[in-house]
Structure 1
Amino acid sequence: MAAPSRAHAPPYRAAPAPRNASLERVLRFIDQHFTVQGLTADHVARACHMSVRALHYLLRREQTSFATCLWSTRLRQADAWLMDREFAHFNIVDIAYMAGFRSGAHFSNAYRARFGVTPGEARSRPALSGGRLDGHDWLRKARI
C-alpha cells in the first residue's frame, strides 16, 4: 500500500508553547509585590521555590532581567496612578513611594527615561474627566 500523498494535507502548525509555570509564578509574584521597597531577586526566588540562578535563567530566556521586570511593573503602575482621577490628590512623590521607589528623584529619572516626559508633565498636560485623564494618547506614543 502506498503512503498517502502529503500534497493536499493541511500545513502542520505547532501549537504555541505554553509559558513556563515557574515563569508565570515569578511574574505573578512581582505583580503582587512590586510595591515592596527593597524587593530582590532572592526574595522572589525563595517565594517561588527556586534558586536565584533559576530565576535569572527563566527571565533571560524571555530576554529580560529581574530588574527590568520589577522597574517596568513599578513604572507601569505609577503611570496608571498618575493618570487615574482617583489618585489625583496624591502628589508625585507619594505615588513614587506607593509604587516601590525609594526616592522621588529616582522615580522621576526612571519615568522620564521610560516615557520621555517627567511625571509632572504627564500629569499636567491632559485635563481630568471621568475615571482617566483625557488626552492619554500623547503619552502612549512616547512609551518605549
Structure 2
Amino acid sequence: MANTPSAPVSATTLRVALVLLAPCSLLTLASVLDTLRQANEQEGRLLYQWQTFTHDGRPLRTSSGIELPADDAFSHAVQCDTLIVLADECRAFDGSPLFVSALSSAGRHCRRVVGMGPGVAWLAQAGLLDGYRASINWEIFSTFSEQFERVIPTQNVFELDRNRLTCAGALATVDAMLALIAQDCGADLAERVATHLVAGPLRTSTDRQRIPFVTGPGERHPKLADALHLMESNIEEPLTTDDIAQLVGVSRRQLERIFRQHLDAMPSRYYLALRLEKARAQLQRSSKSVLQIGLACGFTSAAHFSNVYRDHFGVTPREDRRNYQAGREV
C-alpha cells in the first residue's frame, strides 16, 4: 500500500510508517491517507511518502471485513520520520511483547510518533508517551488512566504535545492529521487540504470529545449517562447542578465526583461548554442573530453571552462568525 510517487523523492520528503493492528478501522486509515495524499497534490510534490506495516507482514482484515495488503512486517529496523499506529482495539496477539519492544525501539529513533484511537494504548505500552499529554478515546479512558500512570490522559479530540500526536480516532483523525500537516508545512497548506476535503469547522486540541449519553453496561457510570441526557435536553433553560443531581438520584457531591472521574470536569463547567458548543454550531450554520442564539442556549443577555463566549473560545460570537465566514470564502 505504499504510495506511488508522482514526483521524485527529495530531501524534504517525509517518510511515514503506518502500522496497522487488527482490528483496524477503515475510516481512520482513509482519513490518514487522504489528508497526506491531498497535501502532496495541493503542493504538487511529494511531501509525504508512506509504507504500511503489520506485525507479521501479512494482510490485515479491517473491522469492516476488507482485507488490506501490507508492504512489510514491522520491526525495530523500520526507519521513518513519522510513525503512526492505528488500531480499533488494544487486543493482544501472538508476538505482542516482541512487537511492543520493536515499537519502543523504532519510536525512539523517529522524529514524531502518532497514535490513533486505541493505537494510543500501544504507544503507552511501549513507553513512548511517558510524561506526554495524550488524547484517550472516551471508551477506554478509565482503564487507560489506571494502567498508564506516567501518561497525562485527556479527553480532547486530539493532542499535539511536542513530537507526540495522539487522537481519539474516527472523524477526529482528520483534525489531527491537519494539525500534523500544519506543524510540518504551515497552516496555509492545512487550510487548503481541509477545504478540498470539505471538512467542517476545524477542531483544535482544546476541543473535547463528544461523550454519548447512552452507553453499554459497565462502560460508564449509568448516573453519568442520565446526567448528560438531561444536559443535552435542557439547553435553552439550563438546570442547576442540584437539579440534575436530584433528578438522577444522587447527591451533588456524588455527581461532582462522577464527572471528575469520567470527564475530568465539574458538572457546571461541562454543561457550560456543551451550551457554548451548541451556540458555536448555530453561529456557523445559521443566520440567527447573536442574541437569538444566546437566548436559545440559555444565556440571559447578548452581553452575558458574548463575555462567556470570549472567555471560552478567545473571541466574541460576532468575531467567531466573521472568522468562520471569511475562511469559507477563501
Looking at secondary structure, tell me which structure has more helix per residue.
1
The amino acid of 1:78's aligned partner reads A
- CA-to-partner distance for each residue in 1:1-40, whole Å, 9 max, x for gaps? xxxxxxx7756x9x93522121122112111112214x20
Distance 1:9 1:134 in 2: 48
Residue 76 in structure 1 maps to residue 274 in structure 2: no
Distance 2:228 2:252 in 1: 14
Residue 121 in structure 1 maps to residue 315 in structure 2: no
- CA-to-partner distance for each residue in 1:53-102, whole Å, 9 max, x for gaps? 21111112232112111110110000000001xx30x2101110100011
Aligned counterpart in structure 2 of residue 51 of structure 1, from 251, 254, 279: 251
Aligned twin of 1:140: none
Residue 29 in structure 1 maps to residue 214 in structure 2: no
The alpha carbon displacement at 1:125 in A equals: 3.2
Aligned twin of 2:80: none
Residue 95 in structure 1 maps to residue 293 in structure 2: yes
Distance 2:264 2:275 in 1: 19
Aligned twin of 2:34: none
Match of 1:134, SS state, is helix
Aligned counterpart in structure 1 of residue 306 of structure 2, from 100, 103, 108: 108
Distance 1:10 1:95 in 2: 52
Distance 1:52 1:126 in 2: 38
Any stretches of 5+ residues in structure 1 without a counterpart?
Answer: 1-7, 136-144
Aligned twin of 2:108: none
Distance 2:313 2:96 in 1: 45
Flag as ranges the 4+ runs of structure 1 deviating above 4 A: 8-11
The amino acid of 2:303's aligned partner reads A
Distance 1:114 1:19 in 2: 27
Q: TM-score, normalised by structure 2?
A: 0.33
Distance 2:311 2:299 in 1: 15
Residue 67 in structure 1 maps to residue 265 in structure 2: no
Between stretches 23-32 and 72-81, larger displacement belongs to 23-32
The alpha carbon displacement at 1:119 in A equals: 0.7
The amino acid of 1:36's aligned partner reads E
Q: Which has the higher contact order (CA 8 A, sep 6+)?
A: 1
Q: Alpha carbons of 1:10 and 1:122: their partners in 2 closer, same or farther (altered >3 Å)?
A: closer
The alpha carbon displacement at 1:120 in A equals: 0.7
Contact 2:306 2:316 (8 Å CA) reproduced: yes
Any stretches of 5+ residues in structure 2 without a counterpart?
Answer: 1-93, 98-120, 122-138, 144-218
